[in-house]
Chain A
Amino acid sequence: MASLSLKKHFLRKTVVPFLVAMFVLVMLIWGMGYSLRQSQADSILEYRVNVAGLSFSAYLDRAEFEAKYLAQQVSNDGSLDSLFQLHDVLFFGGLDFFYITLADDEPLEDPRARLYTNDSLSYLARSARLNYWRHISTADGAELLVYKKPLQPNEQSRVQGYLYGFVSLNNNLALSSDLMSGAQVDYMELSSVSGKMLLSDQLPAFDETSRAIEYTGILELPTLEDKLTIKVKMARPFSESLEQNVLINAALVLICLMVLFWIVMHNAYRWMFSPLQHLTNHNHDAKQQANFEEFLPVQQQMNHFEALLKARDQHFHLLLDSLNCAILFCDESARLTAINQESKAVFPDYMIAKTIFDMTPIAFHQPIQRALKGLYDDGFEIELPELGKIYQWHTYSFINEFGFRSVMLVGRDISEVRHLRWQLTNILPRHTIDRPYPDSHIVLNELDILHRSHDEHCISPQYWLLLIGHLLKQISQAAQSASEFETLGEFVMAQQEELAQLAVEGERYGLVDYDISMDAAQVKANWTSDHKVLIQLALVLCMTDSILTRRLTMKWEKSGLLIRIVGVGKVSPAMKWMLQEFPKLVRGHAIIEEGCVTIFTSLSVEAKSETAPLTHTGQRLALIENDFDAAGYCSSALLALGAKVDRFLSFEEFLSSDRALGVEYDAVIVAVGDQHSARKGVERLRSINPDTQVPLFYICERHTNCRDGQIVYAHQLMRYRLAQVINETVSEHKINLRRWLSTSSNWLIVGGSNISQIIWLSELQSQGIVGRREQDLEVLLEGGLAHAALSVVLVLDQASAQRLQPLVVANPQIHWLVLEDFAERPATMTYFNVQGQPPNSELVQQLIQRFDDKKG
């Protein structure tokens, strides 16, 4: 803000009244001079009117004289012609024309009279009087003065006549020029007392409208009878009023006022402004100046502020020194303005340095210059070898009180920090700092829990430990592999595989109820290894309890994947810790409630993938249960896929049942509840299979290391997996038992009791013969044997054999064997004597031998 000079202000303010005073005085003087002149002008004009009167009198005298002379001439001569020889007299005399009346003769008329008036001169002459002038007006507007003079008397002393002399007033340039030049006025007007204008003349330069002083007076001439009113005007232009006196007076007044002004200003400067100026010096040399009353409040305020400033300064310096930082202030030309103790120690040559650049190493210069320009600074680190310290400096730019950009440097001693950090990075692995690392007490708690409640778990403690350890290891390691891009189902399957790899042989898996829709399973997303661990975590959570089946729901939310595990009992400490810590790595969260754990992780999801939906409508699958516990779950899962499932309790049923004969199966699912029977059954199936490939896969509830085909474990029973496995196993080779059985020795056992049938079937099966048993004869009798590619029918008792007689007849190509002989035995039915013994391998071998012979 620009400051005003008090002096100049005072000057301007005082000049104004002085100027006003000057103006007023000059006007006053001028006015006085003007009025003086006005009053003088009147007397001047009066005087001039007198002079005009005198010149008028002189003119009239001249005219009188001419009249007298002419009268004398006429008396001598008596004719007009002689008069007109007197050119000089007539020209210079003053009379304009004359008229002579003679006693006994005709009057003599001056022909010049006609130039003035047409009135009869004798009439006009009648108003003339002897020895003085009179004013007469004619009818045609001529104003005349007339004078009567008697002519010389003749010898008889008789006056011969009279001469009348006429002077024109309104047509006489000589008279008016005489009067005007005598009066020296600009305008003259003579009028009679009645107001009629007689003579009017003015200077050619006289302007009616311009200012003029007027004077009206009465003109009385000694020889004129009538009084005349004379009005004179003198033009008084405005500039005339500025006559010399007025100018001198005005100049004097101006000079006096200027001197006065100068005195006032001088005094003001001396007695007011200089004490004001010395006010600020007062503090330094006290008691030098007198204490003016008016300055006391200002001084008090100044002292107060000074004390305040001192206090602030003290606080500031205390602060600077107590902050454990090296602080430097420098101004816009990089000169040092403030420095604290620590920075004095850092830069010991601060006393000799002129600018900050002189006392700091080169590395400082660039940041300081950038700060001086106002650019943002990130901070820089400098190692000071002589002190053995590392300082981290920040520069802060600010605008100082003068409006220039200044810099503050703040330096912190970070040598210790660096040291520690180095130790941390090099001694402790980095990933432990970066990733959540379980404390030891978590692991101890976990072990403790394991010890206390290991029999509650369905899975073995060994496996459990392996799982926990695997998870913890994965969590604490940094994300190693790049992200993969695959479907949810694939990903989950991969994790399941990985977990399964950790298990030992015979490890029992609990059933997990997967609630993952096929659509959800086919959504592709970008999975990182952290997500892998998360999924594994969820899967492990499902495996903890054996009492309840856990339900694992995976749903795609708008921004990520929601995993819900319902039915969780107590969550082990390690799991709890992992659930708390780990979701942070995957930008999600986990909520542990009573019986339910919800994990959410944000994932970028691809839009619906274009893979063909894995539907299996129309596929026929055979599920061979083999005492598998969750067979119902399996079949419902398979049905949910859209396939048609035929359940068989065991392989015997599968192989011997008519149900299986009629259809072609796309795949056989062997549920391994009982491992042994399953194996056997698969062997048998394989043995009767003409092809090498049998489309089957296993569903096991225990971990098995032998890989005979695809295995789906109990905890892996999700629809997606099943679908994938089915897709993989299904090939062109469908299971067609009829075809298979027809090609080899295919025996049918009928009659007898169930048990004996079964015994015989198993014996045959052990010999490698595929057999079936049929309990109900009626079926056979009604249906015939057309459907079966039988080769041998073994009838166990004679009652059945008798009943089957028609069939025997009907099917001559089939070999009939009967174990009890009866009378009506046809020839095609062969009798084999088992002597009432249960069959054994030797017996069966004999039977087969015999049959082969027979056949052969």
Chain B
Amino acid sequence: MSAYFENRAIVVPGDILYEGRIRAGNNTYRMGGRVYATHVGLVEYGRGVVSVIALEAGYMPMVGDIVIGYVVDIDVGQWIVDINAPMNAILKVPDAMEVPFTPELVMTEFLDIGDTIVAKVVDLDRRRTPILSILGGELGKVDEGLIVEMTPSKVPRLIGKKGSMVSMILKETGCRLVIGENGRILIQCADREDEELIVSIIRKIEREAHTTGLTNRVHEYIMRMRGVKNE
């Protein structure tokens, strides 16, 4: 029974993380009494569990996630939505509008191919295809703003512990942010310069996601960029 790495060391797939009785957590797999990593990331030895915080990982839809998607196709009674996942998601008419579906309904008048939506994953069907809904506050079609993409596994860093990072950014810039768990972020600011500042902040967080004291550094960064702007 032994650990092979220090806590929060960088590991790559195939690295043996632990030998002996332990639960294999996120981004690990067990084979022959050993636990191996499946992603590049930081290893975390918890109580009776070993896991890897992935630095590169795709998005896997889960029920309850808020995602930002693009309508890519229209079927009878449903829109097909690209949500940056291994499979496209489905948005059915009853999950999109209050009116019932009738053959007379012109679906493109409500949502057309190329439209952007903020949606919630409400279900995974038996083929694990995500089912979306845009009924409810904050959800629906997006008409303005800027969308940037980041690695989905680094989204928790943008949010911070109990939302500390994102609330700090919102307080300092006064912008509106919609963070999709699928790595797409919608930015709505009063002026263009603030939007560009937020894009550079997101790039910084993405680059430095595996370092400590990030919230403080981002705060300093905003102050510095703001100082430059005000001069």
| Binding partners A and B | no
- Listed in ascending order, the chain A residues whose CB lies under 8 Å from chain B are none
